[in-house]
A and B are shown apart, each in its own frame.
Chain A
């Protein structure tokens, strides 16, 4: 890059034709890449939302961390001895390539050795989970109580019977309706792992009891607390999210 007589100290001298071309091309590429990057980020922000029917495998990190950790390799899908897990195909509304299951189709069988988690190479399915009962894949919600057969007075306890930790995650609570009728209401407790068996077995054509991602029901903070408790080996406490003000002592 010898410019002969040109003064290399000045700006125009420094910018000979070769350099100018190189810099212009570089700047053009950088700008185009910047625009592409922005477009990519906009796409990611829209495409990363998890729909309410899509549940993550047991041990999955909170969704924001999961999105950074999961490389979409499908080793968990291969490790699953059932047909529960799938990798989301593009355009299906679930973050592309990530593992998920839909409770209504094929729920999680809650294998005690958690093979999907063991197969995960990245830690997106957290290795700290060693007791499947501590998994929080989702949480069951009685989404539309008026359609619940039991609440209508019929003898249905399909969800209660389907629950793999029977009597702990779902109980049938006696409910006195105005007018003298007594019915049983399925009530979900903190022990629910979100396996989806209850939603799978729910009798009406559209399930009344639904399992949804924990963050969508309880928020990330609550999930984080439960996760850390699980990591510490503490039993899941069934505490109300907001504690009542202390009652004044009366003697």
Chain B
């Protein structure tokens, strides 16, 4: 409804910190992951050794990306104990807390596509090309099939997610060009194109997080003024509608929600909150149209 600029409501009512809180924390988290990997080679402080594909935390705890791990299985390699334990730890963590938490809080590509999204909005670029969001769900098995048929970690030859982190820690090469291509793709071709439509790794973590505990809820949805700021900010805007406009649970249960918390930030009415999946409470901001369970 409002012709007010994006975020104006939130800034006016909540102030700067509350309008940017989760975004700032998310950037800090992404930096922390990168710093964890870079502290060793740069300063000799070994926090995380290796890269996103597989690493050692503090020289003790093995961690491994479960998506790379299943690609290796599909390629026909029988798993070794350390890789199995690492993949189980990481998969278990995301399974419990939130699958696409990885995308919003750890993935090195996220700042790139976020920047493209921000620039796209500021420049007012609109493109009509809107491919299906199911493409990534089809690409995921295609990647595993390619791994099986070639007997190699096929997607890892091009994967910009593990590739960028590996590049930043071990030497970039042409990966910078690939990342630039994704930036331009998101900026000019498809809105939120890479993370929202293509990335099979994101699709994998999405499937992993089907039952995850950490969720965004819209308990004060009756206070919604239809300003559309949350839809503008959200990288997966289709996940908001059922919770915000529906009659059922206020929880955003769609596993494509990356739990980035940006909707919490940008809402001037404090409609959204980060909570757990059993918190189905609806705050009263008017007569409930439909009583909470």
Q: List, in ascending order, chain B residues with CB within 8 A of A122's CB.
A: 54, 72, 77, 79-80, 82-83
Interface size range of chain A in the complex: 35 or more
Q: Within the complex, which residue of B86, B151, B170 is in contact with A67, where a contact is CB–CB below 8 Å?
A: B151
Please provide the chain A residues from 1 to 52 with a CB less than 8 Å away from any CB of chain B in the complex. 25-26, 28-30, 32-34, 36-37, 40-41, 43-45, 47-48
Within 8 Å of chain B (Cβ to Cβ): is A77?
A: yes
Report yes or no: A33 in contact with B163, Cβ–Cβ below 8 A: no
Question: Knowing A40-B146, A89-B167, A127-B80 touch, does A71 contact B69 (C-beta < 8 A)?
Answer: yes
Least CB distance from A2 to B in Å reads: 19
Report the tally of A-B residue pairs with Cβ distances under 8 A. 165
Report yes or no: B169 in contact with A33, Cβ–Cβ below 8 A: no
Least CB distance from B83 to A in Å reads: 4
Question: Knowing A30-B138, A73-B55, A75-B49 touch, does A68 contact B166 (C-beta < 8 A)?
Answer: no
Within 8 Å of chain A (Cβ to Cβ): is B135?
A: yes
Q: List, in ascending order, chain A residues with CB within 8 A of B83's CB.
A: 71, 121-123
Within 8 Å of chain A (Cβ to Cβ): is B36?
A: no
Q: Render A125-153 as a binary contact track against B, CB cut-off 8 A, 1 for contact.
A: 00100000000000000000000000000
Within 8 Å of chain B (Cβ to Cβ): is A97?
A: yes
Report yes or no: B154 in contact with A44, Cβ–Cβ below 8 A: yes
Report yes or no: A78 in contact with B40, Cβ–Cβ below 8 A: yes
Report yes or no: A90 in contact with B75, Cβ–Cβ below 8 A: no
The interface-forming segment of B171-179, B210-218, B220-228, B285-293 is B171-179
Question: Knowing A71-B156, A95-B157, A122-B54 touch, does A29 contact B132 (C-beta < 8 A)?
Answer: yes
Within 8 Å of chain A (Cβ to Cβ): is B152?
A: yes
Q: List, in ascending order, chain A residues with CB within 8 A of B69's CB.
A: 71
Least CB distance from B81 to A in Å reads: 9
Within 8 Å of chain B (Cβ to Cβ): is A206?
A: no
Chain A interface (Cβ < 8 Å from any Cβ of B): 25-26, 28-30, 32-34, 36-37, 40-41, 43-45, 47-48, 64-65, 67-75, 77-78, 86-92, 95-97, 120-124, 127
Chain B interface (Cβ < 8 Å from any Cβ of A): 40-41, 49-51, 53-56, 62, 64-65, 68-69, 72, 75-80, 82-83, 86, 131-132, 134-135, 137-139, 141-143, 145-147, 149-158, 162-163, 166-167, 169-175, 177-178
Nearest 7 A/B pairs, CB to CB: A89-B173, A91-B174, A33-B138, A73-B54, A37-B142, A68-B75, A123-B80
Question: Can you spell out 18 A-B residue pairs with CB atoms less than 8 angstroms apart?
Answer: A40-B146, A41-B146, A45-B150, A68-B75, A68-B76, A68-B77, A71-B53, A71-B64, A71-B156, A72-B53, A89-B175, A90-B175, A97-B170, A121-B54, A121-B64, A121-B82, A122-B80, A123-B78
